[in-house]
Structure 1
Amino acid sequence: MVVNGPGPGSRHDVMVVGEYYFDLIFRGLPEVPKISADLWAEEFEWVPGAAYSTALAFARLGTSAGWWCQFGNDIFSRMILEEARRENIDDRLFIHLDRPLRRVSAAFSFVHDRGFISYAEEPDPLPTPEDLAWIRPRILLLQGLSLDAERRRLIEAARELGITVCSDCQHVDYRLSTPGMEEMLGLIDVFLPNASEAKALTGEEEVERALSSIARFCPTVVVKCGADGAIAFSKGRTTRVPALAVEVFDTTGAGDCFNAGFVHGLLTEPDIGGAIELGVICGSLAVTGYGGRNLPFKEDLTKYRRREAAI
Structure 2
Amino acid sequence: MTEANTPVGSGTPDGGQDSAAGTWDPLAHLRLPDDPPLDVLLSGTVFFDLVFTGLSRMPGPGEELWSEGLGSCPGGIANLATAAARLGLRTGLVAGFGDDAYADWMWDTLAHDEGIDLSASRRFRGFHSSLTVSISTDGDRSMVTHGHDLPEPLSLLIDGAPAARAAVVDLGGETSWWSRLAATGTRIFADIGFDETGRWDPADLAPLVHCHAFTPNAVEAMAYTRTDTPDRAVRALAERVPLAVVTDGPGGSYAIDAATGEEAFCPAVPVTALDPTGAGDVFAAAITLGTLADWTLVERLKFASLCSALAVQQFGGSLAAPGWGDIADWWRAMRESADGGDLRAAYTADQYRFLDGIVPDHPVQGKRRAQGTFALRSDAGEH
TM-score, normalised to structure 2, is 0.67
**Counterpart among 41, 44, 68 of residue 18 in structure 1:** 44
SS of aligned partner of 2:240? coil
Q: Residue 6 of structure 1 contacts residue 13 of structure 1 at CA under 8 Å; is this kept in 2?
A: no
2:298 counterpart of 1:273? yes
Distance 2:86 2:65 in 1: 34
1:72 matched residue in structure 2: 98
SS of match in other structure, 1:290? coil
- Decide whether the 8 Å contact of 2:274 with 2:314 is kept in 1: yes
Distance 1:88 1:5 in 2: 19
Separation in 1, partners of 2:210, 2:138: 36
Is the contact between residue 174 and residue 181 of structure 1 (CA under 8 Å) also seen in structure 2? no
Residues 224-235 of structure 1: pairs in structure 2 closer than 5 A: 224-235=247-258
Distance 1:58 1:121 in 2: 26
Deviates more, 1:296-305 or 1:185-194: 296-305
Q: Deviations over 1:266-288 (max 9, x none)?
A: 12243333222222222111112
Which stretches in structure 1 are left out of the alignment for 5+ residues?
Answer: none
**Is the CA contact 2:131–2:146 (under 8 Å) kept in the aligned structure 1?**
yes
Q: 1:202 to 1:190 in 2, by over 3 A?
A: same
State, as a whole percentage, how many aligned pairs show the same letter.
26
* Equivalent residue, structure 2, for 1:98: 125
* 1:219 shift after superposition: 2.7
Residue identity matched to 2:98 = G
| Alignment match, 1:107 | 134
Deviation of residue 60 (structure 1)? 2.0
Question: Partner of 1:89 in structure 2?
Answer: 116
Q: Residue 49 of structure 1 corresponds to which residue in structure 2?
A: 75
Q: Which moved more, 1:269-278 or 1:248-257?
A: 269-278
Alpha-carbon contact 1:22-1:103 (below 8 Å) kept = yes
Deviations 1:115-154 (A, max 9, x none): 433232115723459717x622110111x2137xx61x31
Do the aligned partners of residues 38 and 212 (structure 1) sit closer, same or farther apart at CA in structure 2, a change above 3 Å counting?
farther
Q: Which amino acid aligns with 2:97?
A: F
1:229–1:240 contact (8 Å) kept in structure 2: yes
Q: Which has the larger radius of gyration?
A: 2
CA contact (8 A) 2:56 2:137 kept: no
| Off by >6 Å, runs of 4+ in structure 1 | 4-7, 174-177
2:168 corresponds to: 141
- Whether the 8 Å contact between 1:58 and 1:261 is mirrored in structure 2 is yes
Greater relative contact order (CA < 8 Å, ≥ 6 in sequence)? 2
3-state DSSP of counterpart to 1:138: strand
**Structure 1 range deviating more: 279-288 or 18-27:** 18-27
Select 1:164's aligned residue among 187, 198, 204: 187
Root-mean-square deviation (Å):
3.4
Residue 249 (structure 1) shift: 1.9
Matches for 1:259-270 after TM superposition, within 5 Å: 259-270=284-295
- Give the conservation status (yes or no) of the 8 Å contact 2:171–2:205: no
CA change 1:145–1:57 in 2 (3 A) is same
Matched residue count = 300
* CA drift at 1:27: 3.5
